[in-house]
Chains A and B, each alone.
Chain A
Amino acid sequence: MPAFACIFVPDFSVEAWLRAEPELRSQPLAVLEGKAPLQKVFAVNEKARRAGVTLEMTKPQVEACPGLALRNRSRLQEAAAHSALLDCAQSFSPRVEDAGCDTLVLDLAGLEPLFGPLPKIARALARRASDLGLKADIAVASNPDAAMLAARGFSGVTVIAGGKEAEQLGSLPVEVLLGGSFQICRDGPEAAQLLETFRRWGIRNLRDLAALPDVELSERLGQTGIYLQKRARGATSRTLVPVEPPLIFEEVIELEYPLVLLEPLAFLLGRLLEQICDRLGARALATQELRLELELQNGYEQDCHPEQARSVRAAKSLPRACRGDLGEPPHRDPASSGIAISARRASLFHRTLRLPVPLLDPKTFLKLLQLDLRAHPPGAPIVKIHLAAEPAQPRAAQNGLFLPPSPESEKLELTLARIAGIVGEEKVGSLELLDTHRPEGFRMQRFAPSEPQGRRGGEKDLRTESSRIGIRSGNSRTKEVSGRLKSYPSQNAVKSEFFRSLLKPCLQSTVCAELNPCSSQKQNDESPDDLVIALRIFRPPVSVTITMRDGKPAGITCPKPKEIHGEILWAVGPWRSSGDWWEQEGWARDEWDIAVQEEIGIALYRLVRDLLSGRWLVEGTYD
């Protein structure tokens, strides 16, 4: 038997505001619409209704009501609430009809094996809507129109058994049939005329309308009357018109007063993030990108309170790097970091938070946004907050007992953000070597370690077999050198040739080992260690004075670090290199390896002569 559920949110404009400000739920609230000073009450909640506030009252009239909260109608918040309602319905059924901003109808056919019996589904719908911040009335019936009538007429959860629609709908007032989105008449006066006609006939509820004879009703009201009577009996039948809502997850808060401090902003951001994460969770999604757009107050120094103006002036007096000047936003390479900044207009402030893995933790998001805003403050009072999340499939990770430890993604992101707050965003991350011979040809990029790869079956067999015949070192060495070849930039042919010569014996040893294990074991024993002498770089290089003798450096003097001073015991070089001469930042240099006798012993340095400037620099020390 077909079953349909209807989700109806009474006083939708009020509920949209209550979703944004849940603390208003305990007090009377009226939503105004219109241009000042002609604003009139558009919607009220139950407490305001009890206090005597009715629709179409003017703002001066309702301002006399004590304790009444007034809000202007916000279409953006209503759109966000409607999207949340759609997410709530979509989390249960893919066939959802959008019957209005406050009403949705969903097809429950085939859901009982998944979610249980129909009353349980209806209660789950109400609970899910409540989790999303909306108080909704739910009705389940055998046809969409009966479900809509029941949802509009009865509060709470209503389940109408099949065949009992007329009996249960009969007590509803006849206004339910024609009110709200159920208007079948194109214009308002006709609906009013119908209501007036029913009133003159003495028809007060749907039972009275359903009891009228069909022929006489048709003679007086035509097909409209017949249709209304069928609906009053709960006997209509129609096809559901499902919609495919776009995967847009956005939340907006329009502030009554501009925000100056970051703490209250974090409070509101936390609420928005929870709403977005609830919506994403309802669709079984996560997010990998958060976009924050703050609308800033223009000319705030003239309009705002003197205390606010003082705070803003204090913020403006901060260093430029500390306050995130909106006029010239600090341009950053999006590839090097997950956070990019842009400013379309002077009154908008954008921040984008990109994550390496999809996450769904509002606390993590909030902390990341807080750290980001602390590093890049908007610099002006905020009047509107717009937060959007890019949906992504949640991460599916299968941890293994024998995999090496790795940080949790949420913790790692927070740690990286905190470290970036300490040392700077450009000083934390992983390395990427550039395809250049330029000294220090690398760049920092976002640290996002991949998941450790599990041991594959073929690899396991190969390793087992290799260890049995004793070529473990050969294999690992081959892999290591192959890895180096991958990680290195493609430089000149000399180095490529060198790598090939380095790789060749390893490959040969592996092949030979398969044929003759004894010889491979012998080779492994004789294989050199992997300890590579390392260079410690001085950033920037240390300028020194060199005394030359026979074309070679013979003495070194450095004014700053006094330890680099003395006679050069030996010097080897030069190795000349140059590049980028076709660009403005060309470079040419001679490199020497020198040993200097110092107090603590012999120290090995790399000495560089910049051929363009003629300066001698100590680039680093071998250690």
Chain B
Amino acid sequence: MSCFPLFSNADVRRPVVATQPACWNIGVETLPKPSRFSAIPKLAGVTPASRLEVRAAPEMVSSGIRQMDALTGGLPRGCLTEICGPASSGRTSVLLAALAAATQRQEVCALVDVSDAFHPLSAAAAGVNFERLLWVRCGVHKQTSGLPQRHPSTALRANSVTEKDKYPKQMEGPVERALRVTDLLLQSGGFGLVMIDLGDVPLKIARRIPLASWFRFQRAVERTPTVLFVVTQAPCAQTCAALLLKVQKQSSAVGYPSLAKKLSADSSQPSEKNLSRKISPSHAQLLDELHIEGELLRSRLERKPVRSVTAVFTTKAMRIS
């Protein structure tokens, strides 16, 4: 944008805008005649600011978390919403809550899973309706069925396999595939919520995503009822994001009171006792009441707050394993 030549050299010598500084403040009856603008070739097609269309405020939908709705007003339709935070900060919990709320509204949702990290049982526990969820697995692990291999030959993580071994046919990485898939989904239209999960993508790779891609996504969802939801480790979409929320765990001294209590109670019992219980605690039940703090970093919908605005969500244990 900065390199676009708005004025020619001749215009620079005679800066028209600088000599007409009040053209935005004067009334309609005192607007300069169109001939003034039309006389300058470069400004002939420029719409005066007074005639610019006022963009209506987007419709907001619930994110599935009451505190987050109170903080941000919900998720804006036709805009890009970015949730960022480090690992174990609660990003996926927020994602699943938004997904559950959207599918319960009977909207068709799509999840572009860059690292193939989606856990179906967590989603089921969050209340996601799988019938209305399109899951696109852009990860690298080649597995034809959902059942895992019994003994994986090598320890592989999402992005540790060489591209040549993974995709002999298409020499592109998961992030590139995810961007192409997102393009297709947004151009197809009709989705109520499209999510891109870049949570496990290293930050240096995520920041290599060109800004033009985010602009393209923003333009694609503009004036549509689609909510574009991106989960990252750190802000990547920059100004394309209409809503930027940072989530993090509260400090351990504050955030794990019940956890510490349960842990101390559990530590007094031998481990084998857990196995002999008639009704064993649900898996990860000790992670109940994990406090997640969400901080609103940017919102185009309201003026930037003077100071940081935060909200605290409390999780409950995943009851199913």
Are B225 and A422 in touch, CB under 8 angstroms?
no
Among the listed stretches A106-114, A281-289, A447-455, which one makes contact with chain B, having 4 or more residues with CB under 8 Å of it? A447-455
On whether the beta carbons of B275 and A576 are closer than 8 Å, the reply is yes
In the complex, what distance in Å separates the CA atom of A612 from the CA atom of B151?
9
Asked if A600 and B271 sit within 8 Å, CB to CB, the answer is no
Instruction: Please name the residue on chain B nearest to A322 by beta carbon.
Output: B169
Contact among A576, A601, A623 with B91 in the assembled complex (CB-CB below 8 Å): A623
In the complex, the chain A residue whose C-beta lies closest to that of B153 is: A540
Closest chain A residue to B130 by CB distance? A431
- Of B88, B150, B290, the most chain A CB neighbours within 10 A belong to B88
The stretch from A122-130, A165-173, A493-501 touching chain B is A493-501
Instruction: Check B189–A411 contact: CB distance below 8 A.
Output: yes
A439 to B319 alpha-carbon distance, docked (Å): 15
A535 to B107, Cβ gap below 8 A? no
Contact with A along B112-156 (1 / 0, CB 8 A): 000111111111111101111111111101111111111110111
Interface presence of B316 (CB below 8 A): yes
A90 at the interface (CB under 8 A from B): no
Count of A-B contacts judged by CB separation below 8 Å: 297
Which residue of the partner chain, among B120, B168, B266, B321, contacts A433 with CB atoms under 8 Å? B120
**Does B52 sit within 8 A of A, measured CB to CB?**
no
A460 at the interface (CB under 8 A from B): no
Q: Mark A516-538, 1 if CB is under 8 A from B, else 0.
A: 00000000000011111111111
If A427-B137, A535-B122 touch, does A415 touch B184 (CB 8 Å cutoff)?
A: yes
Surface stretch bound by A, among B6-14, B32-40, B61-69, B297-305: B61-69
| Contact for A533 among B64, B154, B248, B287, CB less than 8 A | B287
- Interface hits, A569-623 → B, CB 8 Å: 570, 572-576, 585, 587, 591, 593, 600-604, 606, 610, 612-613, 615, 620-623
Q: Which of B90, B127, B146, B191 contacts A442 (CB 8 A)?
A: B146
**A483 at interface by CB-CB < 8 Å:** yes
Cβ contacts under 8 Å, B192 to chain A: 404-406
Contacts of A189 in B (CB 8 A): none
Cross-chain contact A444 with B65 (CB below 8 angstroms): no
CB of B89 within 8 A of chain A? yes
Report how many residues on chain A are interfacial, defined by Cβ distance under 8 Å.
Answer: 97
Measured CB to CB, the closest approach of chain B to A21, in angstroms, equals 35
**Structural contact, A600 and B86, CB atoms closer than 8 A:** yes
* Interface membership of A37, Cβ < 8 A: no
Question: Given that A407-B191, A591-B321 are contacting pairs, would A423 and B315 also be in contact in the complex, using a CB cutoff of 8 Å?
Answer: no
Residue among B184, B249, B317, B321 making CB contact with A601, cutoff 8 Å: B249
Point out the residue from A405, A419, A574 that lies within 8 Å of B190, measured CB to CB. A405
Asked if B147 and A441 sit within 8 Å, CB to CB, the answer is yes
Q: Of A419, A498, A531, which is within 8 A of B319 by CB?
A: A498
A560 CA to B319 CA in the complex, in Å?
A: 31
Contact B93 A537 (CB under 8 A): no
Chain A residues within an 8 Å CB radius of B238: none
Selected from A322, A531, A561, the residue in CB contact (under 8 A) with B65 is: A531
Contact present for A423 and B88 (CB under 8 Å): no
A196 at the interface (CB under 8 A from B): no
Q: Select from chain B the residue with minimum beta-carbon distance to A599.
A: B86
Question: Are A529 and B282 touching (Cβ within 8 A)?
Answer: no
Whether A432 sits at the interface, judged by CB under 8 Å, is yes
Type the 1/0 row for B208-250, where 1 means its CB is closer than 8 Å to any CB of A.
0000000000000000011000000000000000000000110
Instruction: Find out whether the CB atom of B105 lies under 8 angstroms from the CB atom of A404.
Output: yes
A505 in the interface (beta carbon within 8 A) = no
- Supposing A531-B315, A620-B119 touch, asked if A593 and B92 sit within 8 A by C-beta, the answer is no
Q: Secondary structure of the B side of the interface? A: loop
B106: which of A404, A439, A593 is its contact (CB, 8 Å)?
Answer: A404
A310 at the interface (CB under 8 A from B): no
Q: B127's contact among A480, A497, A623, by CB below 8 Å, is which?
A: A480
Interface flag for A344 (CB, 8 Å): no
Contacts A431-B120, A529-B66, A575-B283 given; does A536 touch B313 at CB 8 Å: no
A436 nearest CB neighbor, chain B only: B147
Decide: B282 and A498 in contact? CB cutoff 8 A: yes
Q: Which residues of A contact B120 (CB under 8 A)?
A: 431, 433, 440, 442
* Known A322-B169, A440-B148; contact A602-B88, beta-carbon cutoff 8 A: yes
Report if A244 contacts B (CB, 8 A): no
Tell me the bound Cα distance from A423 to B120 in angstroms.
19
B198 → chain A closest CB, angstroms: 12
A152 to B269, alpha carbons, bound, how many Å? 99
Least CB distance from B275 to A in Å reads 5
Residue from A319, A476, A487, A542 within 8 A of B169 (CB atoms): A319
- Pick out which of these stretches binds chain A: B15-23, B43-51, B96-104: B96-104
Interface centre among B65, B100, B144, B292 (most CB of A within 10 A): B144
Please report which residues of chain A, range 421-441, place their CB below 8 angstroms from some CB of chain B when the two chains form the complex: 422-424, 426-434, 438-441
In whole angstroms, what is the CA distance A540 to B161 when docked? 11
The answer to whether the Cβ of B79 comes within 8 Å of any Cβ in the partner chain is no
B87 interface residue, CB < 8 Å from A? yes
* Interface presence of A539 (CB below 8 A): yes
User: Given that A407-B189, A428-B134, A535-B122 are known contacts, is A591 also in contact with B283, CB under 8 Å in the complex?
Assistant: yes
State whether B290 touches A533 (Cβ < 8 A): yes
| Interchain CB contact (< 8 A) of B108 among A406, A484, A528, A552 | A406
Residue A184 CB within 8 A of the other chain? no
Q: Which residues of B contact A407 (CB under 8 A)?
A: 108, 188-191
Whose C-beta in chain B lies nearest to the C-beta of A602?
B252
Q: Which residue of A lies closest to B136 (CB)?
A: A428
Within residues 386 to 438 of chain A, which ones have a CB less than 8 A from any CB in chain B?
403-408, 411-412, 414-416, 418-419, 422-424, 426-434, 438
4 closest A-B pairs by beta carbon, nearest first, are A407-B190, A543-B155, A623-B92, A534-B92
Enumerate chain A interface residues (CB-CB to B < 8 A).
319, 321-322, 403-408, 411-412, 414-416, 418-419, 422-424, 426-434, 438-444, 447, 449-450, 452-453, 476, 480, 483-484, 487-488, 494-495, 497-498, 502, 528-543, 551-552, 559-561, 563, 570, 572-576, 585, 587, 591, 593, 600-604, 606, 610, 612-613, 615, 620-623
Listed by A's residue number, 12 A-B pairs whose Cβ atoms lie within 8 Å are A404-B107, A406-B108, A411-B189, A412-B188, A423-B136, A443-B145, A531-B314, A570-B263, A572-B266, A573-B274, A591-B321, A602-B252
Q: A419-B185, A442-B146, A574-B275 are in contact. List 13 more A-B contacts (CB 8 A).
A: A407-B108, A415-B185, A530-B97, A532-B93, A532-B126, A533-B284, A535-B121, A537-B118, A541-B148, A560-B155, A570-B263, A600-B86, A622-B284
